[in-house]
Structure 1
Amino acid sequence: MSATSINLVLLLLCLSAALLLRPWQLLKGATRLTPMLAAFTLLPWLWALPSLHQMPLQLQGSGACLLVLMLGWPLAVPVLCGVGVLAALISPMGWDTALDLIVWLGLVPATLALGLGLAVRRWIGHHLFVYILGRAFLGTVVSVFIAGVLGQWAGHSLPGVDNDLSLVAHWLIAWGDAFLTGLVTAILVAYKPDWLATWSDRLYLKKP
């Protein structure tokens, strides 16, 4: 099976599962709309950066794990698909490259983040620092790194990075994404908890 075929299968599986969960119901009220519009504004440029500038090391950030925390997985999946389409429209990348980014920079780390988040809640518990350090920070490190390794195995390569250095590059990218996700999540918990679909004062702060 070719890399494009694998990407299409993964895309259809994730999108079908997300649509079955009726993600549009999460848009009731304005709390999901603002982070969704922010994702459409910022993430396409982050994903398109290597295609817009020729640099020796063209490393790409993901942002998918943060999006899952803010929107929830069912809504994050179609949003990430839209981000990939916008990235293709604002840059000279081809549609095969955009599909590659949607799957390996968006859907796979987002799905892994969902699974790890459920595992953290199930086996570690509901605590403020567990949410920030476990789900937002360490969960992002693991999700983005595993997605990068799986993507490399499936034929997705980092632009401008030699194959021998790809694992190191994926590891560094994962930590960069984790620092950003952890920082933004901590700020949102303190000042805008309603922007986090996965946050609950009742669960994590033990409020009635």
Structure 2
Amino acid sequence: MNFPDGLLPATLLWTANILAVFILYLAVRTADWRLLKNETWQHVFLGSSATLILLWSIKAGIKPALDFHMLGATLLSLMFGWQFALMALSLVLLGITVFGMAGWESLGLNFMLMGIIPALFSYNFFRWVDRKLPNHFFIYVYVTSFASAALAITLCGIAAILVLSLFGVYTDHYLTQNYLPYFILMAWSEALLTGMAVTMMAVYRPEWLVTFSDKRYLDNED
């Protein structure tokens, strides 16, 4: 999923860069910066970003752009909301790019695929579930974290495949036979990691989840 430089047309890369900067600008402008006044929250934000840099550096691949690693976008969206999740993911992507694991010209496209798409999907999926389904702890864990994480990374993989296919980098047959099936395994791993992390935080550190409320998800249980 980490696109290197020189693989895709420059027009696409620069268009993605401009769009990514615009969306990140919206996130910065609309974020609730009062949250950063809490020193503990600052440490959690920076610690989460640093942890994801390590997770993203642990990857496996077969050809350029055809690699796999955990995302953590759903977890960050539930912890911080979509604005701070995008900021954290931008720091993560910047970190792995500095270490040579992604291309500078492809920075915007990588951010779109591995940050913006999964983070916005996860947060909006959470809002949809919050409106449509009962406020129950198990719904929060299994639907808005476990299922959402699996869907988010699958969506990320499909988007990457569409880009590679549309611009003729690899054939459709090769992508569907040698790349897409592995996202089923990645989706399970992403869901398991996210579900476990959310459960632990909801039980022991609920203040680390801006989308979680003891009163709403626990006090309303029958």
Question: TM range, normalised to the smaller chain?
Answer: 0.7 to 0.9
- Largest Rg, 1 or 2: 2
Moved more, 103-112 or 145-154: 145-154
- SS at 2:71's partner residue? coil
2:25 counterpart of 1:16: yes
**CA distance, structure 2, for counterparts of residue 81 and residue 132 of structure 1:** 26
Aligned to 1:202: 215
| Gaps in structure 2 of 5+ consecutive residues | 1-8
Deviation at 1:90, TM superposition (A): 2.2
Unaligned runs of 5+ in 1: none
How many angstroms does 1:200 deviate by?
Answer: 0.8
Which position in structure 1 is the counterpart of 2:54?
45
Task: Tell me, in whole angstroms, the C-alpha distance in 2 between the residues paired with 1:14 and 1:175.
Answer: 29
| 1:76-87 correspondence runs (5 A) | 76-87=85-96
- 1:27 corresponds, among 10, 30, 36, to 36
Name the aligned partner's letter for residue 205 of structure 2: K
Q: Is the 8 A contact 1:137 1:179 kept in 2?
A: yes
**What is the number of equivalent residue pairs in this alignment?**
202
DSSP 3-state at the match of 2:70? coil
CA distance in 2, matches of 1:201, 1:22: 23
Deviations 1:56-102 (A, max 9, x none): 88421101110111111111111111111111112353213443332
- Three-state SS of the structure 2 residue aligned to 1:95 is coil
Question: What is aligned with 1:138?
Answer: 147
Shift of 1:143: 1.6
1:43, distance to aligned residue in structure 2 (A): 1.2
Checking the alignment, whether the CA contact within 8 Å between 2:14 and 2:108 is kept in structure 1 is no
TM-score, length basis structure 2: 0.80
